[in-house]
């Protein structure tokens, strides 16, 4: 059909299209055949516009895991499945990928990003965009730019010089625009060099649109647009969420008053219609919304998600051939808080409601069968929050089924909703009938809890506003939750108030949690009732050591608790929470074959690293965690992950530390020296360097082939590398090329590729060093400089192990 002509729309119609119709949908305009585009977070799956239990989502490996694969082709296959799922859920626009950088390991959203290096992030991000968009689903590359940490994220002013922006933080955005033609970009909450990103004409218009030729839509991050004329002039195209916001009537008036040219509005609408066309959202005028082509593929999707998770696992250490586990193992101990409470995904808007989750125990059982006895022990707690209750200990007081009864009351205590919450909690992403959340004055969750064993129990109520918990009809605790800094804090780590009781096995208690959200934020609900058996530290440790003492091998799964790495706040420590370090030390002292599995999005400290047999970093692996873990531990799948972030030895030895703004300003004073470049500049040794990761075989780096004679400045350069598999198994090696430039001696990743070879065989990898790898930003000229000179090329398996070297003469 013919594209609708922007000139045929009235000013009010046009501007009406430029603010969301609601939280996640864009306005429809049936007159021109435009249906309302539906957006969904990303980036670790397709949540949908809410967490609808009837329409669950695949929980994909976190983006940091995708980056750890160092395999753009794999990532494209994975995100193609994401695109298909978006289509099947009726989603047109995915609010992903997140291409901010892990400037510091403290970043709360580090798990959502592709690591610390712009070149790796750019290639993985472009593959991500291509995969999703190949299914006719738009991607939204976010958060443009400098939103690399969470403290004061709504207001922080990031101060970075031009070279730092151009050579580091803008690189992945640029690749998504110029190499992958992303359909949208999201402007962040933060400011850069004193200008709010939604008002940043230099970055949004001059660089993104004019210089890079971006043809798509610039969305505001949710509620990031805080002005009318400034945002409209700067290059913002669509304000989210809606229906209210700073545009609408105010922007119509501004155009009429001559403050914003109407041609600029036309350009925004044209961009939006272009996106609608990509998503198939434009029919003939008057047509009903076109039927979506639904291609469900849950089985294929689960296979790809499992493969990607396994391939992202990064083997940091493996002594005495601890892994793969030998076939003759009969007794396996599965220990650790994350073995019992695995963290499948990071917290915040990236969370999805998965239909299935495979725990490490389930995965190992399925793989090892009945011939191997697996003993599970928590070992210690990783959270000071109350977990549970397990659904099978709860009973709805009305219908008797598992779960808790949620009653919602409006003004004058009028009941407005009653229903079951199987997990005894409520978040603003749970679908409730229209108007319930907005009118909720009081929430009550009640359940009959049956104690599974004799002992002490902790019961708690968590949420916002006034909270109260009654046990058997008597007030047990009440509190007023302090105001949180960020709504996501309330979502991932709500304030809780608890009480302890001793119970005997089979004893039934009635728990009634009530909460009055007050004037927190209209429509925002977060409420939870928790119940957990109290286990003492010596009890937990004793069980773990007993299990370890009997075992042929121990797998200790450690990491942060759910919600600890999340949007809305940064991490305050890199240490494993609770007594996990002591647990690992003690278990390793008892069992010589101790494999530590680290289930975290960003690096944790590993003071025990030299005293365990193997360390496998598994990130936040998504729903197929257990299967992927079994695949790698048994050796069915080689762990091909390589670190996309450096792992520090101690907190004082983190070169770019806590990202706390000073008086609202966060200075990127380290300039280009982020990640491994910061370690190189400061002379600090990381525990494990960027790029590091072992497989199940060994490699020799034999030869590097560079062009003979000088190469032209401004041209790509092809090189060849030969590696030989000198181990006993077929394997995959990630060959990394680092280029040192003469202008300042900075050495950075320029190219990477994978070699596959059988034992004894050689493999040759052809790699392209892009012209940009030889360039630097010349701030005086305001342009890229491509100088002549001698560049040093280093090749190897990590940023710190580069056995092959050569020189390239440019000029």
Compute the least distance from the CB of residue 221 to ligand BGC, in Å.
Answer: 5
Residue 117 · residue 644 · CB < 8 Å: yes
| Choice between 272 and 810, CB closer to ligand BGC | 272
Beta strand spans in 386-494 (E): 394-395, 404-409, 415-421, 425-427, 442-450, 455-463, 466-471, 474-480
- Whose tokens are 């609808």? That residue is 52
| Choice between 41 and 395, CB closer to ligand BGC | 41
Q: Three-state SS for 99?
A: coil
Compute the least distance from the CB of residue 36 to ligand BGC, in Å.
Answer: 17
Distances (CA, A) of 523 to 428, 434, 810: 8, 10, 61
Q: Which residues pair with 495 in a beta bridge?
A: 463
| Choice between 351 and 581, CB closer to ligand BGC | 351
Q: How many Å apart are CA 131 and CA 349, to the nearest integer?
A: 21
| Choice between 191 and 447, CB closer to ligand BGC | 191
Residue 589 · residue 607 · CB < 8 Å: no
Compute the least distance from the CB of residue 538 to ligand BGC, in Å.
Answer: 42
Give residue 321's region: left, alpha or beta (phi > 0; psi -120 to 50).
Answer: left
Compute the least distance from the CB of residue 23 to ligand BGC, in Å.
Answer: 8
Q: How many Å apart are CA 750 and CA 772, to the nearest integer?
A: 9
Beta strands 665-667 and 762-769, pairing class: unpaired
| Choice between 99 and 440, CB closer to ligand BGC | 99
| Choice between 221 and 581, CB closer to ligand BGC | 221
- Look at the alpha carbons of 342, 345, 346, 347 in this order and tell me if their dihedral is positive or negative: negative
Q: How many Å apart are CA 410 and CA 432, to the nearest integer?
A: 14
Name, in order, each residue with C-beta under 8 angstroms of 321's C-beta and a sequence gap of 6 or more.
none
Could you tell me which of 245, 262, 191 has the C-alpha nearest to residue 12? 262
Compute the least distance from the CB of residue 642 to ligand BGC, in Å.
Answer: 27
| Choice between 223 and 450, CB closer to ligand BGC | 223
Compute the least distance from the CB of residue 24 to ligand BGC, in Å.
Answer: 7
Compute the least distance from the CB of residue 45 to ligand BGC, in Å.
Answer: 13
| Choice between 20 and 498, CB closer to ligand BGC | 20
| Choice between 41 and 148, CB closer to ligand BGC | 41
Compute the least distance from the CB of residue 239 to ligand BGC, in Å.
Answer: 13
Rg (CA), the chain: 27
Compute the least distance from the CB of residue 226 to ligand BGC, in Å.
Answer: 14
The pair of three-digit structure tokens given for residue 518, joined into one six-digit string: 């007050």
The runs of H, that is alpha helices, within 216-342 are 229-234, 249-256, 262-278, 298-312, 337-340
| Choice between 142 and 166, CB closer to ligand BGC | 142
Which residues contact ligand BGC (rule: CB under 6 A)?
41, 95, 142, 221-222, 349
Residue 27 · residue 248 · CB < 8 Å: no
Name, in order, each residue with C-beta under 8 angstroms of 518's C-beta and a sequence gap of 6 or more.
464, 465, 466
Compute the least distance from the CB of residue 307 to ligand BGC, in Å.
Answer: 27
Distances (CA, A) of 662 to 146, 157, 631, 658, 731: 16, 10, 46, 11, 48
The pair of three-digit structure tokens given for residue 394, joined into one six-digit string: 């709860």
Q: Three-state SS for 622?
A: coil
| Choice between 311 and 526, CB closer to ligand BGC | 526
What single string gives the DSSP state of each residue in 257-278? TTSS-HHHHHHHHHHHHHHHHH
| Choice between 221 and 430, CB closer to ligand BGC | 221
The verdict on whether 148 is a catalytic residue reads: no
Q: SS3 helix, strand, coil % of the chain, rounded to 5?
A: 25, 25, 45
**Catalytic, out of 221, 237, 470, 486:** 221
Q: How many Å apart are CA 499 and CA 407, to the nearest integer?
A: 22
Compute the least distance from the CB of residue 41 to ligand BGC, in Å.
Answer: 5
Q: Which residues pair with 794 in a beta bridge?
A: 738, 805
The length of the chain is 811
The pair of three-digit structure tokens given for residue 803, joined into one six-digit string: 């056995």
Compute the least distance from the CB of residue 747 to ligand BGC, in Å.
Answer: 33
Compute the least distance from the CB of residue 487 to ligand BGC, in Å.
Answer: 8
The pair of three-digit structure tokens given for residue 459, joined into one six-digit string: 């019961």
Q: How many Å apart are CA 576 and CA 581, to the nearest integer?
A: 7
| Choice between 126 and 184, CB closer to ligand BGC | 184
b/e per residue, 246-265, with b = 16+ CB within 10 A? bbbeebbebbeeeebeeeeb
If one counts every other C-beta atom within 10 angstroms of the C-beta of residue 688, the result is 23
Give the N- to C-terminal CA distance of the chain in Å, as an integer: 52
Element holding 702 (H helix, E strand): strand 699-705
Q: Three-state SS for 756?
A: strand
Residue 447 · residue 424 · CB < 8 Å: yes
Q: How many Å apart are CA 233 and CA 412, to the nearest integer?
A: 47
Tell me the catalytic residues.
221
């Amino acid at each position: 059909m013919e594209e609708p002509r922007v000139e045929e729309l009235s000013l009010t119609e046009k501007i009406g299209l430029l603010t969301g119709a609601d939280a996640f949908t864009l306005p429809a305009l049936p007159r021109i055949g435009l249906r309302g585009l539906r957006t969904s977070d990303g980036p670790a799956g397709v949540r949908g516009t809410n967490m609808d239990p009837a329409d669950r989502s695949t929980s994909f490996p976190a983006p940091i895991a995708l980056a750890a694969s160092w395999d753009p082709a794999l990532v494209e296959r994975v995100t193609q499945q994401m695109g298909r799922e978006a289509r099947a859920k009726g989603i047109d626009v995915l609010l992903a990928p997140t291409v901010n950088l892990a400037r510091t390991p403290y970043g709360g959203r580090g798990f959502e990003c592709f690591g610390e290096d712009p070149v790796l992030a750019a290639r993985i991000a472009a593959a991500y965009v291509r995969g999703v968009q190949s299914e006719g689903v738009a991607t939204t590359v976010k958060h443009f730019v400098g939103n690399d940490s969470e403290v004061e994220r709504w207001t922080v002013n990031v101060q970075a010089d031009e070279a730092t922006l151009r050579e580091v933080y803008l690189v992945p955005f640029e690749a998504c625009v110029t190499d992958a033609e992303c359909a949208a970009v999201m402007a962040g909450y933060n400011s850069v060099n004193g200008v709010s990103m939604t008002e940043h004409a230099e970055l949004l218009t001059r660089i993104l649109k004019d210089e890079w030729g971006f043809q798509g839509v610039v969305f505001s991050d949710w509620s990031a647009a805080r002005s009318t004329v400034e945002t409209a002039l700067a290059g913002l195209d669509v304000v989210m969420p809606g229906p209210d916001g700073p545009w609408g009537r105010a922007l119509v008036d501004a155009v009429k008053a001559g403050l914003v040219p109407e041609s600029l509005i036309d350009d925004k609408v044209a961009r939006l219609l272009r996106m609608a066309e990509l998503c198939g959202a434009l029919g003939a005028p008057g047509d009903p919304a076109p039927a979506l082509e639904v291609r469900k593929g849950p089985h294929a999707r689960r296979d790809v998600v499992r493969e990607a998770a396994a391939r992202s696992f990064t083997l940091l250490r493996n002594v005495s051939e601890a892994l793969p586990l030998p076939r003759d193992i009969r007794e396996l101990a599965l220990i650790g808080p994350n073995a019992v409470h695995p963290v499948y995904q990071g917290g915040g808007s990236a969370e999805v409601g998965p239909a299935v989750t495979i725990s490490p125990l389930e995965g190992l059982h399925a793989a090892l069968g009945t011939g191997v006895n697996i003993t599970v022990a928590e070992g210690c707690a990783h959270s000071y929050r109350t977990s549970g209750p397990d659904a099978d200990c709860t009973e709805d007081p009305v219908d008797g089924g598992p779960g808790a009864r949620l009653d919602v009351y409006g003004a004058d205590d009028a009941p407005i909703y009653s229903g079951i919450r199987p997990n005894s909690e409520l978040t603003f992403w749970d679908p409730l009938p229209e108007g319930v959340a907005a009118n909720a004055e009081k929430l009550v969750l009640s359940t009959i809890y049956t104690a599974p064993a004799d002992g002490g129990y902790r019961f708690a109520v968590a949420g916002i506003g006034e909270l109260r918990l009654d046990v058997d009809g008597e007030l047990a605790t009440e509190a007023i939750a302090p105001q949180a800094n960020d709504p996501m804090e309330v979502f991932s780590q709500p304030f809780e108030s608890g009480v302890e009781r001793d119970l005997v096995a089979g004893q039934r208690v009635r728990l009634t949690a009530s909460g009055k959200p007050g004037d927190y934020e209209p429509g925002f609900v977060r409420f939870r009732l928790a119940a957990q058996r109290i286990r003492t530290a010596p009890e937990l440790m004793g069980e773990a050591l007993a299990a370890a003492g009997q075992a042929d091998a121990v797998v200790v799964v450690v990491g942060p608790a759910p919600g600890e790495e999340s949007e809305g706040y940064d991490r305050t420590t890199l240490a494993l929470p609770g007594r996990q370090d002591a647990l690992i030390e003690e278990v390793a002292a008892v069992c010589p074959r101790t494999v530590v599995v680290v289930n975290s999005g960003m690096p944790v400290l590993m003071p025990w690293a030299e005293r365990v047999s193997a360390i496998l970093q598994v990130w936040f692996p998504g729903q197929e965690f257990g299967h992927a873990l079994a695949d790698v531990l048994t050796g069915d799948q080689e762990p091909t992950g390589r670190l996309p972030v450096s792992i520090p030895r101690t907190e004082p030895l983190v070169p770019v530390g806590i990202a706390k703004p000073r008086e609202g300003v966060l200075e990127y004073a380290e300039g280009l020296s982020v990640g491994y470049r910061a370690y190189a500049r400061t002379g600090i040794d990381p525990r494990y360097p960027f790029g590091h990761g072992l497989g199940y075989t060994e490699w020799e780096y034999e030869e590097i082939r560079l062009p003979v004679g000088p190469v032209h400045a401004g041209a790509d350069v092809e090189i060849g590398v030969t590696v030989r598999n000198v181990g006993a198994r077929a394997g995959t090696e990630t060959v990394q090329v680092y280029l040192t430039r003469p202008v300042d001696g900075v050495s950075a990743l320029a190219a990477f590729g994978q070699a596959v070879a059988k034992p004894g065989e050689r493999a040759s990898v052809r790699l392209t060093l892009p012209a940009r790898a030889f360039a630097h930003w010349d701030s005086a000229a305001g342009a890229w400089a491509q100088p002549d000179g001698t560049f040093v090329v280093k090749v190897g398996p990590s940023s710190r192990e580069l056995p092959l070297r050569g020189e390239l003469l440019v000029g």
